[in-house]
Amino acid sequence: MLGKDNVFLVVFSSYQGKVMAGPRWGGRMMEMIISPAVSDSIESKLNQIDLDGFYLFFDDKVRKEENLMVTGHRAVGVVYNSSGDRRQFVPTIIPMRYDTLFFFKNTSALRVLR
């Protein structure tokens, strides 16, 4: 194992937009619309900040007990199924799961390089 001092975890998060993903494992990749985040999620809370995009850096100063609340976090990866969007939000303690979070109010799907 590499250990926490040898790995730096970065996550990209969005309130709404588009992504390139498949509807299931092994499914064909396509552009998909991400609906606005549910109200009790970290994405909804970050969307209230008056910036189109920003990042948060989590170090030991941030990882104090008073900052370690469980919140819903949208899980979009190579697979995304918008029909069960509420189930895409997983309970997460953001500062313990990631080292940096990049947030964008709206995203556009990446272009596939081939």
Q: Average pLDDT of 29-33?
A: 92
Determine the pLDDT at residue 19.
92
72-94 tens-digit pLDDT: 999 888 888 777 667 788 999 99
Gyration radius from the chain CA atoms: 15
pLDDT at position 2 is 79
CA 77, 23, 83 angle in degrees (round to 5)?
Answer: 100
Residue 37 has pLDDT above 90, yes or no: yes
For 112, list phi and psi in degrees, rounded to 5.
-75, 130
Residue 111's CB: how many other CB atoms inside 10 A? 8
Residue 41: pLDDT band (50, 70, 90) is very high
Query: Domain limits of the chain?
Result: 8-22+29-107
pTM for the full model? Answer: 0.86
**% of the chain beyond a pLDDT of 70:** 97
Give residue 86's pLDDT. Answer: 73
For the domain 8-22+29-107, what is the CATH code? Answer: 3.40.1660.10
